[in-house]
Amino acid sequence: MVFDIINPATGEKINSFEAMSDAGVQGILEQSARAQHDWAATSFAERARLMKSVAQTLLNNREEYARLMTAEMGKIYTQGIAEVEKCAWGCEFYADHAEEFLASEDVETEAQHSFVTYKPLGVILAVMPWNFPLWQVFRFAAPALMAGNGAVLKHAPNVFGCALLIEQIFIDAGMPANLFRSLLIDVPQTTQVIRNPLIAAVSITASVAAGRAVAGEAGKVLKKCVLELGGSDAFIVLEDADIDRAVEVGIVGRFQNSGQSCIAAKRFIVVDAVYDAFEKKFVDQVRQLQMGDPSQAGIYIGPQARVDLRDGLHDQVQRSVAAGAKVLVGGEVPEGPGAFYPATVLAGVREGMAAWSEELFGPVATLIRVKDEQEAIQVANCTDFGLGGAVWTRDLARGERIAADEIQSGAAFVNDMSKSDPRMPFGGIRNSGYGRELSIHGIREFVNVHAVWVSAP
């Protein structure tokens, strides 16, 4: 099998990769297992030194790495630069904190000495998506490696160049050979890798369907999974919100990365008292977003990663319109090459529409008018997803109460958009998955929580 890499902005083939053989994959897994065995015996200080070298390698080559993401999946070049810098931040964060996060903990019992240690599991398989080709991988790899694990990556086929680049970054930074490897394989081979006894656990960021498939295979062989799946985040705007600021942040939250983000603000739930003002300001700003070549300055909406994804998104918009939604801006497939779709706003969205119940993974915002705070919370929670959410209000106590006690999700933000941060746990509930990445919680996902009890002779 050959995987062709298509530039989504032009439709042109820019590279191709041949799938690895089963024997080649087995050889890589064996090499990774040996490398991980030695790596687990290294000190945190040595791991941290090398992980900081990875961070510096990222920063030294940010322009080159951003250009590859732009070519392979259409990422806006300046946003690619920011993504590389965020990867470096994640590496530095875990280099600085891994030893503290995984320090042994004494427990008071009747034993002479009882304590809990955190030990690496082995080689972890990461199944990762194309929308953040570097960050999705590094937010897994930095804590996994700092915990003493090894890693093999099954990346999305349309960013296999990025997959090999990440492997090379670890090599260039001086990490042990084979500690991190990329597998250029298809879905059936991925199933075989999950079942392989050399794989200790699995982390996947993907669609709900892919997450269910991977979790099912891992469950058959009783291997732990961390699942970060889709999202349909609510962005609640209450009557006392700073409307100008909410619109400004909401535009970024919905349309950055050309709308291709699981944690994007997708459902704008606005109370009636300020709905008209919010809609006007929001639509006016969306009209100003420039669509075009993602490598050029001033462009905010690049292509979707693949034509089939663009067409699927347009189908969701058309089905919603047929059910009564109104297109305020955008909503039409442009002529010409590439997988472009314009920044789009739908109003009049209600229960039963595709735009209400399905994840719109692209530059489409849905506006939902509600009566008051109570209805806003009800609508926010009326979803099969539960990744993130946001509430906008000048009353911080009110916002904190809603974020902490009312919004049903893995994270909630007051007067800000949903985002990932190495210092905070990241993950969801319901169809958004389970387990956590980042922070102390992320590094403890792929370790053996090992209890030790010592009694006097």
Q: What is the CATH number of the domain that holds 371?
A: 3.40.309.10
Q: What is the CATH number of the domain that holds 89?
A: 3.40.605.10
Tell me if 426 is assigned to some domain: no
Quickly state the pLDDT bin for 134 (edges 50, 70, 90).
very high
Residues 238 and 365 in one domain: yes
Quickly state the pLDDT bin for 176 (edges 50, 70, 90).
very high
Q: Is 105 among the catalytic positions?
A: no
Residues 265 and 219 in one domain: no
Number of helices (H), then strands (E), in the chain = 15, 18
Structural domain count of the chain: 2
Tell me if 448 is assigned to some domain: yes
* Residue range 184-232, pLDDT digits in tens: 999 999 999 999 999 999 999 999 999 999 999 999 999 999 999 999 9
Distance from the Cα of residue 216 to its chain's centroid: 21
Q: Residue 415: its pLDDT value, please?
A: 98
What is the chain's mean pLDDT, rounded? 98
- Closest among 136, 380, 137, 390 to 242, alpha carbons compared: 390
Catalytic residue (one of 87, 91, 225, 262): 262
Residues 400 and 437 in one domain: no
Instruction: Tell me the Ramachandran region of residue 383: left when phi exceeds 0, alpha when psi lies from -120 to 50, beta otherwise.
Output: beta
pTM of the model: 0.97
Residues 35 and 96 in one domain: yes
* Residue range 410-434, pLDDT digits in tens: 999 999 999 999 999 999 999 999 9
* Residue range 87-100, pLDDT digits in tens: 999 999 999 999 99
**Rounded average pLDDT over 255-259:** 98
Q: Is 228 among the catalytic positions?
A: yes
Residues 132 and 171 in one domain: yes
Catalytic residue (one of 72, 83, 167, 228): 228
Tell me if 394 is assigned to some domain: yes
**Strand intervals (E) in 73-171:** 105-106, 113-120, 123-127, 150-154
**Rounded average pLDDT over 328-336:** 97
DSSP one-letter code for 334: P
Domain that holds residue 120: 2-230+431-454
Q: Residue 299: its pLDDT value, please?
A: 98
User: Is residue 376 within 8 Å of residue 271, measured between CB atoms?
Assistant: yes
